Every structure is written in structure tokens, then in C-alpha cells.
Amino acid sequence: MFRLGNEQAESIRFEHAFPDDPDPDRWFEVEQFRPRAWVFRHPADELRRHPAVLAEVRPTWDFMARVAADMALGAQTASANMQARAQVGAELHVRLPHCLPIHLVARRTGWERKPPHAG
């Protein structure tokens, strides 16, 4: 096992590509349709390193989509000084690298996956 000293660890910086980088492996996107439309684009590495994802032995695409939705919602509400909580009935699409879009709907119990053919 190799350990970094405090000085070495503090000097490590993660660099992300610019948001207009076309490489789909670098980003995940969350797009909300209802009740208010917005799009959140964020580095996929941040999602892969999220504590909830790291805690899962084998995180599924659905699980990662729910974590991404929570991250996006948290970013949207952080500037408004509100608790990050989705409005029941809110609908969004989550686009993860190497995965078809996942359509989620907010319920009282959390995010529920909506089948792609459901209107």
C-alpha cells in the first residue's frame, strides 16, 4: 500500500473538460421537464466518486440515475437556500455515459423509474 503525505494530497487537483466537450463519457446530464424545465450537466467522474455510489457493491444504472437526480436537484436548490427535495410528480431524464436515458418521476418515497413507452 502506498500512502500520500498531507502535502502531496493537498496538491492533487482533478481537472475536468469544458462543459462543451463533446465526449459523452465525461458527462452526465439531468433534464427536468415538469414542473419547471432545466438541464444540469456535470462531470461523470463526480458521480462515480459519489459516496452513495462508492458504498454500493454493484451500483446499477437505475441507482446511479437516482443519485445523479439527487445531485442535480441539490445543485438547483443550493443557491435558493432550500432543502434538496423533488416536488412530487417532477419528471426528468438522466443521461449517463454508455446508458440509454432513464426517465424518473419523483414520488413521496423517492425516485421511480418510468418506462420509456409510458406517456
Domains identified in the chain, total number: 1
The answer, yes or no, to whether residue 93 has pLDDT greater than 90, is: yes
Structural domain boundaries, residue 34: 26-114
Phi, psi for residue 60 in degrees, rounded to 5 = -85, 165
Q: Is residue 90 one of the residues assigned to a domain?
A: yes
- Written as nine digits, the cell of 35 is 414542473
The answer, yes or no, to whether residue 4 has pLDDT greater than 80, is: no
Rounded Cα–Cα distance for residues 108 and 70 (Å)? 14
Q: Is residue 18 one of the residues assigned to a domain?
A: no
Contacts (Cβ under 8 Å, ≥6 apart) of 11 = none
Please state, for a pLDDT cut of 70, what percent of the chain lies above it: 70
pLDDT tens for each residue of 33-90:
887 888 999 899 999 999 999 999 999 999 999 999 999 988 877 656 555 567 888 8
Q: Is residue 89 one of the residues assigned to a domain?
A: yes
Q: What is the pLDDT of residue 105?
A: 93
Q: Is residue 12 one of the residues assigned to a domain?
A: no
Q: Is residue 8 one of the residues assigned to a domain?
A: no
Residue with cell 438541464: 39
Q: Is residue 76 one of the residues assigned to a domain?
A: yes
Q: Is residue 38 one of the residues assigned to a domain?
A: yes
Q: Is 57 left (phi over 0), alpha (psi -120 to 50) or beta?
A: alpha
